[in-house]
Structure 1
């Protein structure tokens, strides 16, 4: 999974973006007005995918594509724990993209990198044999061979704590990665059955990156073209102004990229809509009433919508002294009306969805269950009782006090998105009702990574986005005690064994049941509170191909361009 900044619905949920496991994103707004047939629901939107699918031959040569991001993350290594969804977005434009997915979540093996993929069960263990295209090379001239698979496994399996890795899920169950019939074949063997093996090795790490210092620090504000491969390479990276530009890669052996250049610009939310309207950028998320209204009816504009793989959630920093008591955290979550939070997202829009019940599964996926409802419900009166029991007494000005310290903490809000401001203000009002003072600190979008990585918050609102249909495969990334994704600091080591047992089961239904048990236990530490699964709605310039709201769809870079 990837973490996304709060306003990611404007850009980070576009179908051209895919993440490694789960990644942080921003929280988003909502969908646009309905098609006039009674409104949209999460269920009615679940099967839609609108991204103008076109074959390679129907995309014209030339042209430019420019879009915005809330930030170009300083960490360019998508595997490293400080990477975000924006890291992943950029990474995919100049590094090997080995496996992609259809809108329905079926794996597609990129023939420019893989000529064959074979799955078998040997002595009760899943074994995958990847045969690599003999033409595949990195830009520095070194071959892409079995060593790339081995390096990706060794740096991601969690065995060496020197590698600060985003997720070990799946890689930690591999017992070996060895050379096959020759260097261009990698044989991967798991311990037991792995149902979700297609979630691994979607992208690869160059063997040159296996030194832990290089892995953790070598990519900071340094893209490293020479370690990449693909139809594009970095033409320019302007750290100061937040710009990165890609051009065709002359060393690429596969189908050439159709675009002359691909550019990402760092922009705040208000600026991004204006930039789309004046032609500076070619696509923008319009997931709120105001944003949608600004582009509706604009000539040369198409609106594409579908379900997104993003869910938003609150994080409480349990390492903050004021929030270190789980009873206090429980009371705060019980005071939050998640249905009202949904209304902030979808205010004035003809769309409805139930509050999100899981951090690992989306409502339209098999195995989804409302595990949040088993742990906490909106109940301000119970929240007050819990605070009373924890020794917090309401003082004359309405703020609770214990040991001469007020129940007062800081909520950090990034960016100028109106929905984010509404969520922040509304949450503060809800918590005031139980005697908690939540002060809002407003910071620019570009501070997102700094705030998250440095845990510079008591309370934060952001999102996670899946990269594929295998959300259950990343349960440890979310809930294990060493999680680099979740910044609450309260994931209990006592739950690790239960959490890690989920993906050892060989039957999906058994995994779903065990995952519900594990997630219920993990949520009971009151570090995170899921709120809503967002829809995706994107405004694009007419003719943009293989880009938009594609559900699980992922396009390789050469497939993105302008329709003939």
Structure 2
């Protein structure tokens, strides 16, 4: 599963890749055969010209949970499947290419450019054909209302990410179809704002901001719209919008179906879904031999981490969080996950940049080094007394116990990881209780509300470093933004603000890395590895699969002519 900052946009040029992907067999001496390292623009979508595609057909996709909130800017709308659906049905102003570079979408924008740098002013010229599904034209009022909802000025709006919007001074009209956005301070990643765009009519009050998008999309504005919701069957079906003014989609429908991760290989083999992850060894070995199947690989911004909740229980104490970091053997976890795979996972030492991005460096400062002696010393200092071999530490008559929350739909790899963490923390006297919760509740009732001590999920497609700001800023009242473990500091907030205002990408990267050093020191979360993108796709499905850093263009997805 994967709450994500919204989908990918700017990427730096490729640096030397540290992660090697591909699947194969092992040599007799036990070493794995290695495929070529992925480039930053690595992708495989079975690209074909539209003339090769037939009109019609259905794409069937598995998702993690029933979508309860389709406003992805709401604190409860950050689940990744909701974001994928929204990008197919709402105005998508910019699309990323294989390098992650954003390009304006001509279906919505004639132009979008910086017209002044002091102050920074952006002018958007909207496509006059662009309409909401209720017939109303897209306008500057939609931009203004979205800014007012997301800039943090009115905390009744539980905005997941005010960054960028909080640097805007004003949004107004510029000509018949234009929008003028004036910033208080420079903002380098301005193209990620207002993308996707939401309609003013369903965003102009805190109640509408949340309730209008609960389990439904009241108004759409793209090539597809939601045709039906079937909560009993746990399916959401998209169909082409007959009012769409752009290129006609090739597909007749896209069906999203809730399926536990463990059930997906069989669902794929039974032809119930058309693509699925093929990363785990036992899954890959089954799917690579499946008839009419392509294995596609890409280099996605995709990280696996463990979140520590500093907002409750023993982990409120920084020394305990730091002890957990030292007690977790990241290399051991990575090696266990990569067993029988032909790529070498290396510990991820940065929260903002992937190893195949410019800006990547080891910012961990030794705080994530596997060091059980250091962990024990920190726990001693925190007053947790050693109970002896195999026994939890105690303090004031209480055992040092943490819960580790898992979705009931977790893969075998996720369960194995949790059990490894449980074993590793036991070595320093920390008892870990693994608790599985219903898949539909995992984010809504547990992660999003900070109801856990430890948990692990993925952040994906955060190619703009500024997209991660809400993950690390200090919560405000009940709004955790995306900092579900409530670990932060004024120093981190200040560095992230400064980085977001810095238009020199190299200088901005250095500021993000300075913030990351503090993030490691405070033991916010333990980065594990960049997750390779290896998927099984039904042969004949074109322009879809391992996207890498690019966005999906659903008008180009379709089935080859026979």
Instruction: Decide: shared fold, TM above 0.5.
Output: yes
Q: CA 1:336/1:402 → structure 2, altered by over 3 Å: closer, same or farther? A: same
Give distance in 2, aligned partners of 1:494 and 1:366. Answer: 24
Deviation for aligned residue 1:40: 4.2
Q: How does 1:91-102 map to 2 (within 5 A)?
A: 91-102=86-97
Residues 273-296 of structure 1 deviation map (CA, whole Å, 9 limit, x = unaligned): 111101111111111101111111
Asked if 1:4 is matched to 2:2, the reply is: yes
Q: In the alignment, which residue of structure 1 is the partner of 2:16?
A: none
Query: Where does residue 357 of structure 1 map in the other structure?
Result: 349
Match of 2:14 in 1: none
Ranked by relative contact order (alpha carbons within 8 Å, sequence separation 6 or more), the top structure is 1
Q: How does 1:266-277 map to 2 (within 5 A)?
A: 266-277=258-269
Distance 1:477 1:99 in 2: 21
RMSD: 2.3
Question: In the alignment, is residue 239 of structure 1 matched against residue 231 of structure 2?
Answer: yes
2:76 corresponds to which residue? Answer: 82
- Find the aligned partners of 1:557 and 1:213 in 2 and give their Cα distance: 31
Corresponding residue number in structure 1 for 2:146: 152
1:459-498 to structure 2, matched below 5 A, reads 459-467=454-462, 469-470=463-464, 472-482=465-475, 483-498=480-495
C-alpha change, 1:504 and 1:114, in structure 2 (3 Å) is: same
Structure 1 equivalent of residue 432 of structure 2 = 438
1:196 deviation in Å? 1.9
- Given candidates 250, 253, 259, the residue that maps to 2:251 is 259
| Alignment deviations for residues 303-328 of structure 1 (CA, whole Å, 9 cap, x no partner) | 00111211111111112222211101
Find the residue that maps to 2:88 and give its secondary structure.
Answer: coil
**Residue of structure 2 in register with 1:423 after alignment:** 417
Counterparts of 2:38 and 2:21 in 1: how far apart (Å)?
A: 12
Q: Is the 8 A contact 1:20 1:88 kept in 2?
A: no
Matched, 1:401 2:383: no
Instruction: Assess if the C-alpha contact under 8 Å between 2:38 and 2:299 holds in 1.
Output: no
Structure 2 residue runs of 5 or longer lacking an equivalent are 11-19
Look up the match of 1:136.
130
**Corresponding residue SS for 1:499:** helix
The alpha carbon displacement at 1:541 in A equals: 0.6
Structure 2 matches for 1:338-417, cutoff 5 A? 338-396=330-388, 398-414=391-407, 415-417=409-411
Asked whether the equivalents of residues 230 and 252 of structure 1 are also in contact (C-alpha less than 8 Å), the reply is yes
Deviation at 1:454, TM superposition (A): 2.9
Deviations 1:472-517 (A, max 9, x none): 2234212110251121112123532232111222322211222111
CA-CA distance at 1:446 after TM superposition: 2.5
Q: Spell out the pairing of 1:107-122 with structure 2 (5 A cutoff).
A: 107-122=102-117
**Which secondary structure does the structure 2 equivalent of 1:76 belong to?**
coil
Q: Give the Å deviation of 1:146.
A: 1.4
Q: Answer whether contact 1:398 1:435 (CA < 8 A) is retained.
A: yes
Q: Could you tell me how far 1:41 is from its partner in structure 2?
A: 7.2
CA contact (8 A) 1:20 1:78 kept: no
Task: Look up the match of 1:524.
Answer: 521
Bigger CA drift: 128-137 or 495-504? 495-504
Q: Structure 1's 277 and 373: CA in aligned 2 closer, same or farther, altered over 3 A?
A: farther
- Distance in 2 separating the partners of 1:168 and 1:362: 24
TM-score (normalizing by structure 1): 0.91
Question: What residue ranges of structure 1 are gaps of 5+ in the alignment?
Answer: 6-11, 22-29
Q: Distance in 2 between matches of 1:189 and 1:347?
A: 52
1:33 aligns with 2:33: no
Residue 27 of structure 1: aligned partner: none
2: CA distance between counterparts of 1:516 and 1:528?
15
Q: Provide Cα deviations, 1:352-377, integer angstroms capped at 9, x if missing partner.
A: 13211122211111111211244331
